[in-house]
Amino acid sequence: MATMNVSLPDPMKDWVEDQVKTGHFSNASDYVRDLIRRDQEYQEQREALIKALVAGEKSGVSERTIKEIWRDVKARRSRNG
Residues listed for the chain:
81
Query: Does residue 73 fall inside a structural domain?
Result: no
User: Which residue segment(s) compose the domain that 54 sits in?
Assistant: 11-17+25-59
Q: Read off the pLDDT of residues 17-41 as tens digits, 9 standing for 90 and up.
A: 999 999 999 999 999 999 999 999 9
CA distance 18 to 31: 10
The answer to the question of residue 67 being in a domain is no
Instruction: Report if residue 64 sits inside a domain.
Output: no
Q: What is the pLDDT of residue 80?
A: 83
Report the number of distinct structural domains present in the chain: 1
Residues 6 or more apart whose Cβ sits within 8 Å of residue 61:
none
Residue 67, classified by CB atoms within 10 Å of its CB into exposed (0-12), middle (13-18) or buried (19+), is: exposed
In a domain, 5, yes or no: no
* pLDDT above 90: residue 14: yes
Is 70 inside a domain boundary?
no
Asked whether residue 48 is assigned to any structural domain, the reply reads: yes
The DSSP secondary structure of 39-73, one letter per residue, reads HHHHHHHHHHHHHHHHHHHHT---SS-HHHHHHHH
Q: Is residue 72 in some structural domain?
A: no
